[in-house]
Amino acid sequence: MPSDLVIVYHRQPYDEVEVDGQIEYRDNKSPNGIVPTLKSFFGKVDNAAWVAWKETEDTSNPQFDRVINIEDSFGKYTVYRLPLTGAQVKSFYHVTSKEAFWPILHGFKEKYNYDPVDWATFKEVNWAFAEAAAAEAAPGASVWVHDYNLWLVPGYLRQMRPDVRISFYHHTPFPAADMFNVLPWRAEIIGSLLSCDVVGFHIPRYASNFVSCVRSLEDVGAVPRVKVEPDMIAEGSALSDRTVPTEIRTEDRVVQLGVTPVGVDVEYIKSLAGSDKTAELAARFRSEIGDTRVLLSVGRTDYTKGGADQLLAFERLLERRPELRGTVRLLHVSVPANRAMTVYEPIQKELEEIAGRINGRFGSFTFQPVALISRAVPFEELVAWYQVADVAWITPLADGMNLVCKEYVAARNDGDGVLVLSEFAGAAVEMGAAVLTNPFSSRAMDFAIDLALDMPEDERRARMELLRASVDKRDTRHWAAEQLALLSPEDFGRKSAKES
Ligand code: GDG
């Protein structure tokens, strides 16, 4: 059945599990994260669909189940599985998106790798995603496309289906023109984004940068701006802006710029944090860790996350302050990407090397100052670790938003704990009560970690109270409500009218 809402996201919205030779589709293990947030929209429309890729070597096989109907805790929805070969996935996702786009989006020109890019394959895959979305969309439907690996989908979809409302959300930073224009395909990408009705970003700066890229390529005239809400301006932080552009007028349409930071599922994290199971886990971890203070860092293994700089800052801490040796530990959870992505191998090696050196220099037979965890930790355990951690140390060099810092705050139902946060994470603009720091400066990093470790309890609590208020305010529900209003007020209104 044609759908009123079509979400186009590269990952499938469930885990495929084989049980007695049959494939079962189960909710993704963690109810936290972006996929469940997107799925929560399925409860708001009668007919919804999700388009994702499914890897298969025989893409022409007529037996391949392209369209499957799912009914899970989020409601009923259709999933269109776009068959892609391993070679297509490697080229469009692992190479073009991760080796060419990702470094530019995060401001790492020196990591940009043009040579292996096969632009024809990128276009072919984006075209196939657009065809799948066009096939699923009802007349006048809303199609919501996610992230840079699908940048060309809006332009193709507009050619196929001029009637649909297209919204595009960027989960990464969006760089200014002097960085973005490194991409030789810049005009095609910007042209595609300008065929959207809405282009969404986490924070005002990324929307302004987008306007600078558009302006470098097209004459779009005056762009109206409005004031940013005061609680989205962290004084003195690198990414804070005071005004935000609201729309771009092209010859064909008005492209609305939607700025809403993604939040976390505060209600879910709070309920988990308040459960007996988490209390038991946290008590167990605390007794296992002994009488030492815990610094916790969680993120994917990626050069943008600043893992090496952080380990080096920890090494300097133990050099500078010998009295802390044996009394403080760094738990560094760094989850490696898919093994097929060799681009992340050097950073993994670097983390292992520095962590090994620190343990060799400052450890003993019974005490290791760094625990480097190179695998995913179950979310329930992560929440217990958030509660155990005296300091959450989240210092990416660049990050669109960063959800880990918000999860840490949501999990601190005891009102204690210190967040040290990079001013280059999008979240920093909302979290001015954190200890904001500049991960490009050793002095700033040293100052921040000293401040965190020496902070008196009343100051810790006062800052945490402010942080909790901000994380509560802009949770997943807030994001969903704002996005819903942008997607299609009329269509979704129909459903609520029917319900009331
Ligand atoms: C992109 C943008 C933007 C991490 N380790 C474990 C684990 N995680 C979970 C965290 C968190 C998620 O992964 C990471 O989200 P982030 O937002 O921090 O980072 P990216 O993956 O880079 O996400 C980012 C985001 O999109 C949303 O728009 O904020 O800027 O780069 O939820 O909890 N989860 C479990 N075990 C782990 O070891 N279970």
Give this complex's ipTM.
Answer: 0.96
Amino acid code (one letter) for 84:
L
Q: Report how far residue 430's alpha carbon sits from residue 114's, in angstroms, rounded to the nearest whole number.
A: 35
Q: Report how far residue 206's alpha carbon sits from residue 220's, in angstroms, rounded to the nearest whole number.
A: 18
Reading across the β-sheet that carries 370-373, which strands appear in turn?
A: 370-373, 328-335, 293-300, 391-394, 418-422, 435-437
CA 335 / ligand 1 centre spacing (Å):
10
pLDDT for res 492: 43
pLDDT for res 130: 98
**Atom of ligand 1 at shortest distance to CA of 379?**
39
Distance of CA 495 to the CA centre of its chain: 29
The answer to whether the CB of 400 is under 6 A from ligand 1 is: yes
pLDDT for res 72: 80
Domain boundaries in the chain?
3-259, 266-473
The answer to whether the CB of 30 is under 6 A from ligand 1 is: yes
- Residue 55 in 3-state DSSP? strand
**Could you read off the pLDDT of 404-451 as tens digits, one per residue?**
999 999 999 999 999 999 999 999 999 999 999 999 999 999 999 999
Helices (H), 200-329: 204-217, 266-273, 276-289, 307-320
The answer to whether the CB of 403 is under 6 A from ligand 1 is: yes
Q: Can you name the CATH fold of 3-259?
A: Rossmann fold (3.40.50)
Residue reference for tokens 């993704």: 28
Share in percent of the chain as helix, strand, coil (round to 5): 45, 20, 30
**Could you read off the pLDDT of 185-222 as tens digits, one per residue?**
999 999 999 999 999 999 999 999 999 999 999 999 89
The answer to whether the CB of 264 is under 6 A from ligand 1 is: no
The count of other CB atoms within 10 Å of the CB of residue 319 is: 12
Q: Which of 385, 402, 431, 482 to mutate to test the pocket of ligand 1 (most atoms within 8 A of CB)?
A: 402
The answer to whether the CB of 33 is under 6 A from ligand 1 is: yes
Strands (E) across 136-287 are located at 137-146, 165-169, 198-201, 225-227, 243-245, 247-249, 254-259
How, if at all, do strands 198-201 and 22-26 pair?
Answer: unpaired
The answer to whether the CB of 32 is under 6 A from ligand 1 is: yes
Strand-pairing partners, residue 82, are 53
Residue reference for tokens 């008005």: 254
The answer to whether the CB of 265 is under 6 A from ligand 1 is: no
CATH class of 266-473: alpha beta
pLDDT for res 65: 81
Whose CA is closest to atom 19 on ligand 1? 402
Q: Same fold for the domain at 3-259 and the one at 266-473? A: yes
The answer to whether the CB of 75 is under 6 A from ligand 1 is: no
Q: Report how far residue 15's alpha carbon sits from residue 31's, in angstroms, rounded to the nearest whole number.
A: 12
Which pair of tokens denotes residue 233?
């301006």
CA 403 / ligand 1 centre spacing (Å):
6
pLDDT for res 498: 41
CA 234 / ligand 1 centre spacing (Å):
22
Q: Report how far residue 498's alpha carbon sits from residue 500's, in angstroms, rounded to the nearest whole number.
A: 6
CA 31 / ligand 1 centre spacing (Å):
13
pLDDT tens per residue across all 500 residues of the chain: 799 999 999 988 887 788 888 877 777 656 667 888 888 888 778 889 999 999 988 878 877 788 888 888 778 889 999 999 999 999 999 999 999 999 999 999 999 999 999 999 999 999 999 999 999 999 999 999 999 999 999 999 999 999 999 999 999 999 999 999 999 999 999 999 999 999 999 999 999 999 999 999 999 989 999 999 999 999 989 999 999 999 999 998 999 999 999 999 999 999 999 999 999 999 999 999 999 999 999 999 999 999 999 999 999 999 999 999 999 999 999 998 776 667 778 899 999 999 999 999 999 999 999 999 999 999 999 999 999 999 999 999 999 999 999 999 999 999 999 999 999 999 999 999 999 999 999 999 999 999 999 999 999 999 999 999 999 999 998 998 888 888 875 554 344 334 43
The answer to whether the CB of 333 is under 6 A from ligand 1 is: yes
Amino acid code (one letter) for 50:
W
Is residue 10 a contact partner of residue 53, using CB atoms and an 8 Å limit? yes
**Could you read off the pLDDT of 27-53 as tens digits, one per residue?**
765 666 788 888 888 877 888 999 999
